[in-house]
Every structure is written in C-alpha cells, then in structure tokens.
Structure 1
Amino acid sequence: MPRTPAALALCLALAAVAVPLSASPAAADSSACTHHFSGPQICIRLEGRGARNSVTGIWTNPPEEIASRPVSLLRNGRHVDTATAVRSGKALTHTWPSGDTGSGTELCVRFRGSQRLACQTTH
C-alpha cells in the first residue's frame, strides 16, 4: 500500500490507464459519407456493438427551405424501410432503432430526390 501522497497519486494514475486497456472493446460506432463536392452530401452512421446497431441517415447540406424528406434504408441492396428525416440544425436526420443488423451486412441510406447512397458494412 502506498505510504506517501506522491506514491498514492502514481498508483491512481497507473490504475486509470490500466482500466481502459483491460476493458472490453468499444462500441462499433462508424460512419461513412458520399464523396461528391457538389449536390447532396449523404451520410450513414452505425451505433452499437457487434451485430446490433442503430442506423442514422443524414443529409448534411439540404437546401434551407427543406424541413423534411423521405429517407430509405437498404440492407444488402434490398429496401428495408422508408421513414421521414427531419431537420436537426443544418442537417436532415432519421435514426432507426437498434436492431440485429448482422455481421458483414452492407447497410445504405438514400434520400428521396438523390441517387447517391451512403453505405457502411457491419463487422
């Protein structure tokens, strides 16, 4: 057991570093965006752990007059659902609740009026 304040502080600092190193892996959060310099900038964000994720579709640069727009979720190229993305600050967003997205699954989002897809593969 440390006997001086300096030794105690050193032990606490080492413990603070050791805990994150021994903790389980962080959630598998990831995102991807279309890489076009003009037109809609569409992004997808996955948040979760393993094969269980929530999916968010984001249109980062919609015209100011657009308050909402339908957004579709595709899984391995097949339509899963269409929902309404609403303005949140400068972007339109919609989040599908967490569910079993599987491993090695390609998830994509597409906003109505754009042929651009933002895709991310689960791990």
Structure 2
Amino acid sequence: MRAGRAAGAPAVLVMALAGGALAAATAPAAADSSACTHDFSGPQICIRLDGQGATNSVTGIWTNPPAGMASRSVSLYLRGRLDSTATATRSGKALIHTWPSRNLGSGTKVCVKFRGSARSACQTTG
C-alpha cells in the first residue's frame, strides 16, 4: 500500500507544479496580478494590481532599496503618461505605496517608476 502512495506522490507533485505554471501564464491583470523587473543587479521594482478587469488599486514596490532609505517618490503612469506621484514609505525591507482602487480602463498599460531608478514595472489591466 505504501509503495502505491509513494509512486502516486510524484505524479501529484507534477500535476500541482503544472497547474501553478499554467496559472502563472494567464493574461496579465486578470485579477490580483504583479510583475517585477528581472535584472537583480540593481533596483528591483514591482507593480501589483489588485482588483478585477478595469477596476484596480495599484501598488508600487521597491523590494531592495538601500538600507537607510525611509521613503522615495514613486510615479504612476497610465498609457505612457504620468498620472500621479506619491511618496512610498518603508515597510520592512521594501518601499511601498498603494493608489486607491479606481477604474483604469480595460487594456490599460499601468507602470510605476521610483525616483532615482531608470527601471519601471508595468502591467496591463484586463
């Protein structure tokens, strides 16, 4: 009986990993999605959209700011145009700011960029 369970365990693990990979490959910003820059040698900037379809809150996150940095300006861009700038504040090891939920439109490219970094993170609303 144990041998049967052990033999089935890898198959269950493979199915779970495949399901996770499939979920990660879904269209951006379907609901509660995030994206980060992929160059780990510099600032790691992330964006998170929380909501559904066109209505989302937007969070800008700098995951690895310098240790002494308590806050930094972060800008929100919609369709390539500056929408607003706010102050991200430290929460643990990251700098974070969340803009309130609102209708951003469907298929809207939403980006965040922190002052002092050439990198930005972007997502597209559903």
TM-score (norm 1): 0.77
Letter in 2 for 1:54: S
Q: How does 1:1-123 map to 2 (within 5 A)?
A: 28-123=31-126
Structure 1 residue 37 displacement after superposition: 1.9
Structure 1 residue 49 displacement after superposition: 1.4
SS of alignment partner, residue 99 of structure 2? strand
Gaps of 5+ in 2: 1-29
Equivalent-residue separation in structure 1 for 2:74 and 2:40 (angstroms): 21
Letter in 1 for 2:87: T
Equivalent-residue separation in structure 2 for 1:44 and 1:37 (angstroms): 16
Gaps of 5+ in 1: 1-26
Q: Which has the larger radius of gyration?
A: 1
Runs of 4+ in 1 over 4 A off after TM superposition: none
Equivalent-residue separation in structure 2 for 1:62 and 1:72 (angstroms): 16
Share of identical aligned residues, percent? 74
Structure 1 residue 122 displacement after superposition: 0.5
Match in the other structure for 1:17: none
Structure 1 residue 50 displacement after superposition: 1.6
Match in the other structure for 1:14: none
Deviations 1:63-114 (A, max 9, x none): 1100000000000100000000000000000000000011100000000000
TM-score (norm 2): 0.76
Corresponding pairs, count: 97
SS of alignment partner, residue 29 of structure 1? strand
Q: CA RMSD in A?
A: 0.8
